[in-house]
Chains A and B, each alone.
Chain A
Amino acid sequence: MSQTIPVEQLKSLTMSIYRYDPSVDEKPYMQDIVIEVPTDKDIMVLDALHLAKDQEPSLSYRRSCREGVCGSDGMNINGKNGLACVTPLSEVVKRNKLTIRPMPGLPVVRDLIVDMKQFFDQLEKVKPYLITNSDNPEIERTQSPEEREELDGLYECILCGCCSTSCPSFWWNPDKFLGPAALLQSWRFIADSRDEATEERLDALEDSFSLYRCHGIMNCVSVCPKGLNPTEAISNIRNKLINREK
């Protein structure tokens, strides 16, 4: 990008980026990389990372769709989790500096890439798929527009991990507390009029950790790049648990 823009329309930006390659580095360090960004238009943090990678090809991060729908590039941008590809520099650069770290709470594989295993293990525990016992009809199952509307704000989750890795309860108990992303998915299926396993799903959450470790801190809500509300989903499950007949 920098080659095609006249010099007078560029300004320098210092990116401070978390670097760690366990096969080379004894310990992680922060590396300053100065990039040239356009003055007349906003670019995304991901574009800035590409410019940094042009200088330092060994810099590693995940990316795919570059439009906020695949969930690859969740990272910690100036202290807050977000997706690099839909976060404009104008929103996050402070005093001409941009600090990028991996999402907190999960083991770092290399640079900005974290090991998502615990995150996905917790997701699988909620059986994130439709469960039915009745026979499938010849055509689709019917669902009213109102019933379908119950899934809005739930099915859009992109599994980026921004929420769970900003949640102190998940940091403490990533193996026992399911975390906001998994619980949002749990509610997505409980709320689905077509699902026939509500009781089974609720039973699996009846312990002191899986769900009840949520303390309503709401970091998940404030960081979700899709504007979803896991805290609300958790409280919906909580109500369902309290109100069901034993």
Chain B
Amino acid sequence: MLVNEIINAKDLPVMEFDGIIVGGGGAGMRASLQLAESGLNTAVISKVFPTRSHTVSAQGGITCAIQSDDPDDDWRWHMFDTVKGSDYIGDQEAIEYMCSEGPKAVFELEHMGLPFSRTEEGRIYQRPFGGQSKDYGKGGQATRTCAAADRTGHSLLHTLYQANLKAGTNFLNEWLAVDMVLNTDGAVVGVIAFKIETGEIYYIKSKATVLATGGAGRIYASTTNALINTGDGIGMALRAGIPVQDIEMWQFHPTGIHGAGTLVTEGCRGEGGYLLNKDGERFMERYAPNSKDLASRDVVARSMALEILEGRGCGQNADHIFLRLDHLGPEVVHKRLPGITELSKTFAGVDPAVQPIPVVPTCHYMMGGIPTNINGQVITVKEGKDEVIEGLYAAGEVACVSVHGGNRLGGNSLLDLVVFGRAAGIYIEESMKQGVDLKDASHDDIDKALERLNKLNASSEGEQVTVLKERMQQNMQNNFGVFRTKDLMEKGIQDLSKVRGEVENMHLKDKSATFNTARIEALEMQNLFEVAEATAITANNRKESRGAHSRDDYPDRDDDNWLKHSIYFSETKEVSKRDVNCRPKTVQAFQPTVRSY
């Protein structure tokens, strides 16, 4: 059966695995490795060859208290920094788990062969990153980010792919998952997916489905994210009636290359680089007297945006900031930051060992996502109570466990994805041993997951994908950026609601079944749109400023009313609140205080 036919459950072929992982990035391949090594019949469904996943673009490193640079480093200090960085809406049980399990997960990566940079003692090289401290903020800057030059994500992703080859994981490479199949109990029992090359379509049945589809930075016009970051898992979850959490929280990375949007690692500032305005002033000294250029990302991004707004931007149009590295000397720049040197030359035409790099805050990371517990199990909220969705797991950027809260610290995303990819794998392995009994999906259940595809295939008129995408991206860029205001957000929401109908009724002109990228882009657009609308509505709903969410009508953090997660369902477009977990297991909870750097 081919993807361009009228597809029905009755004639649809079925493929069956013990566990399936949707997404072949870091989180997905860490989960699949765990399952494959435990002998379960495991398949990774990835819309690109796994090493093309966006984890490959992570540069600076993976933050973890492995006590290489500082033998006295303590995971509890890392936990403190992460809680503070999250502006106190990160779940402390999850952060505790990530920071304390982290060293194990990082050493495992090294054992698999990850080519970390090394210290003279032969241990893993660590560099300072933003928002890091010793002794619970009292001991000055820490040096905690483990690095493979400035290609840590590339090294990590390739290492995990290699380890999965060794473990015998099944790879369904260049297969696109369209929607999840839910049985009548509301449990997830697999996905509909097709092989992009040939268009062969299947119901892929499984007792455990892990969503590891990454982020959705492409809802914005300017982003560091790969073109494939289209929020496929978020779209699938929202359509299946599963909520998203804190999706209003989008990180703008301080240093995207002006014009191109490509990332320049925070490791540049970790190695001693700093930001300058048009007067040649190190302006971060004014905004963050202690941490300066290594304050957390939301703080640095806002400071840069203010400098530009107040007319102190660099260049002819005063629309960017300079990142200076030349004082570090060519030795450090070329040895520690070879990838940055390459990217700066290609996309900005400058050699950072000689000239500053023009940078602007650029959409980078989705802190929110599908709510999960620390085992990766997806959670929904019913009448104010958490409830586990049977058969469904999520890990990595698509998930909101939540370790990043309102603002993620640099180097914590790679740690998040290995720790919780691994945790989901361990939990699934255990639950399979106990036995998993889920009701089979009926033809009706399966047909529901085919609706979107059938509709697109039947389209004979309607708007083009590219037109709708550009309209949405401009809307999000202009109305839901670093600074947010009520009027603009309301205007943005209105425009999105006008566009929704057109997105659901797009025209797919090319109906070919063979590697049809137009069909993929149309399906991706519908996923992006779900993320954009969820972002817009939850952003307007959160009436305070916290972490990356900053609005002029509510400039302060409001712990009395908003020390809460936002929970959003797309069917009702309603936002509710969910308690933040302040119950770590082995340490005292960190109480919210004024956040300064």
Q: How far is the CB of B468 from chain A (nearest CB, A)?
A: 13
Q: Give which listed residue, A70, A110, A128, A143, contacts B515 with CB less than 8 A.
A: A110
For A, the interface residue count at a CB cutoff of 8 angstroms equals: 55
Number of A-B contacts (CB under 8 A): 153
Given the known inter-chain contacts A65-B56, A128-B162, please indicate yes or no for A142 contacting B515, CB distance below 8 A: no
Chain A residues closer than 8 Å to B165, beta-carbon distance: 124, 128-129
Considering only residues 183-234 of chain A, those with a C-beta below 8 Å from chain B are: 189, 192, 194-195
Instruction: Tell me, in angstroms, the Cα distance from A143 to B117 when the chains sit together.
Output: 9
* Most chain A CB within a 10 A radius of its CB, from B117, B120, B342: B342
Provide the A129-154 mask, 1 if CB < 8 A to any CB of B, else 0: 11010001011111111011001000
Q: How far is the CB of B312 from chain A (nearest CB, A)?
A: 25
Chain A residues closer than 8 Å to B516, beta-carbon distance: 58, 60
B interface residues (Cβ-Cβ under 8 A, vs A): 48-49, 51-54, 56-57, 66, 103, 106-107, 110-113, 115-124, 148, 151, 154-155, 158, 162-163, 165-166, 197, 226-228, 260, 262-263, 339, 342-343, 346-347, 464-466, 509-510, 512-518
Inter-chain contact B346/A64, CB cutoff 8 Å: no
Chain A residues closer than 8 Å to B48, beta-carbon distance: 62, 64, 70, 72
* Most chain A CB within a 10 A radius of its CB, from B151, B166, B517: B517
Inter-chain contact B66/A139, CB cutoff 8 Å: yes
Inter-chain contact B514/A21, CB cutoff 8 Å: yes
Instruction: Tell me, in angstroms, the Cα distance from A11 to B532 when the chains sit together.
Output: 35
Q: Give which listed residue, B115, B262, B465, B518, contacts A148 with CB less than 8 A.
A: B115
Instruction: Tell me, in angstroms, the Cα distance from A147 to B510 when the chains sit together.
Output: 53
Q: Give which listed residue, B53, B117, B121, B514, contacts A22 with CB less than 8 A.
A: B514
Residue of B whose beta carbon sits closest to that of A123:
B165
28 A-B pairs with C-beta separation under 8 A: A21-B514, A24-B512, A58-B509, A60-B515, A60-B518, A62-B48, A64-B54, A65-B57, A65-B226, A67-B57, A67-B343, A68-B342, A68-B343, A69-B57, A70-B52, A70-B57, A109-B514, A110-B514, A110-B515, A113-B515, A138-B107, A140-B66, A142-B123, A144-B118, A144-B122, A148-B115, A155-B158, A158-B51
Inter-chain contact B51/A70, CB cutoff 8 Å: yes
Q: Give which listed residue, A142, A148, A159, contacts B117 with CB less than 8 A.
A: A148
Q: How far is the CB of B23 from chain A (nearest CB, A)?
A: 13
Q: Is A71 an interface residue when CB atoms closer than 8 A count as contact?
A: yes
Chain B residues closer than 8 Å to A151, beta-carbon distance: 115
Residue of B whose beta carbon sits closest to that of A68:
B346
Chain B residues closer than 8 Å to A65, beta-carbon distance: 52, 54, 56-57, 226-227
Chain A residues closer than 8 Å to B107, beta-carbon distance: 136, 138-140
Chain B residues closer than 8 Å to A60, beta-carbon distance: 515-518
Provide the A95-115 mask, 1 if CB < 8 A to any CB of B, else 0: 000000000000001110101
Chain B residues closer than 8 Å to A61, beta-carbon distance: 517
Q: Is A156 an interface residue when CB atoms closer than 8 A count as contact?
A: yes
Instruction: Tell me, in angstroms, the Cα distance from A57 to B464 when the chains sit together.
Output: 9
Inter-chain contact B56/A70, CB cutoff 8 Å: yes
Residue of A whose beta carbon sits closest to that of B198:
A109
Q: Give which listed residue, A23, A54, A57, A70, contacts B514 with CB less than 8 A.
A: A23
Q: How far is the CB of B154 from chain A (nearest CB, A)?
A: 6
Chain B residues closer than 8 Å to A7, beta-carbon distance: none
Given the known inter-chain contacts A58-B510, A65-B52, please indicate yes or no for A70 contacting B226, CB distance below 8 A: yes
